[in-house]
Amino acid sequence: MPAEVTGRGLLRVLEHAPIPVLVGFLAPASAPSSRVRQALHGWASLHAGSLRVLTVDAIRFALTTSALEVSVLPTLQLWSRQRRLWTIEGASDLSSVTRLLGTIADGPPPASRAVAGTVPAPILPTRAVPSPT
């Protein structure tokens, strides 16, 4: 099952995780976010130990969400060694989620096979992002 984390908790995990981390930035009362959350549950079970799966309430932890350049919900990001490898914005249907998860299993695609909607991204922000209390 994916673990739900706070803004600060997410930054700590991304900084220290020894395995890749798949993060779902979700809106609590959104049907698309619910479908993505359901897909994340299956992926977390299937790849326990080799991939950490987390969810973040993107509304409640808006500062962290914004600092990680998330502007559309739901959004999925794959992180490894403090670097964001991929982002899929508006991952609202299961086919886009499945496409992302399938490419994670195969490793990063060559540039010619890049998954639609994904972009390479910079390392974690160097400043701490405060979470709302």
CA dihedral of residues 60, 64, 66, 67 (deg, nearest 10): 170
- Residue type at 119 in one-letter notation: V
Percentage of the chain surpassing pLDDT 90?
46
pLDDT tens figures, 47-87: 888 899 999 999 999 999 999 999 999 999 999 999 998 88
Look up residue 76 and give its two tokens.
């999925």
Exposure string for 24-41, b = 16+ CB within 10 A, e = fewer: bbbbeebeebebbbebbe
Domain 3-113 has CATH 3.20.20.300: no
- What is the pTM for the complete model shown? 0.75
Instruction: Please check the confidence at residue 5 and state whether its pLDDT lies above 60.
Output: yes
Distance between CA 5 and CA 107 in Å, rounded?
25
Selected residue with higher pLDDT from 40 and 1: 40
Domain boundaries, the chain: 3-113
